[in-house]
Structure 1
């Protein structure tokens, strides 16, 4: 589960969007390999994809060009990571 809080501003900090919190189902998928260089040293290479879902802020707290409060920020939160590691056995 991912609890996301969305808030921010547009152009300058006086143009704030309202804060909004939502809970999404988050998921992750990963894979990796390890190569033993010696009996005590191993090198790792891994990949991980994380998806925390879509989120949006509250309505704009400022008047836009049309004089309305009808805007929200929207985002899709994902991460894609490649990791290189080294392990030493004592």
Structure 2
């Protein structure tokens, strides 16, 4: 599970991974309610690893799915930002 911050970091990490493969890139770690580590794995096949630090096993996104996940996540993030904007507008 990721919050909006984690989803934005994942978006950037996927794009960075696309540009880095077949090379290496440093891991990214975030704190907060859902502490997570993002890593690029190249062997046996390229994958973005999402390791939620309080979960037993990491989640792998293989390279062939990066474009699809990126596109879907862009849509989800846009909707989430709009819902937050509307919620904030009602509070005032």
TM-score, normalised to structure 1's length? Answer: 0.25
* Larger CA Rg, structure 1 vs 2: 1
Please identify which structure carries the higher strand content. Answer: 1
Highest RCO, 1 vs 2 (Cα 8 Å, sep ≥ 6): 1
Identify, as 1 or 2, the structure richer in helix. Answer: 2
Q: TM-score, normalised by structure 2?
A: 0.24
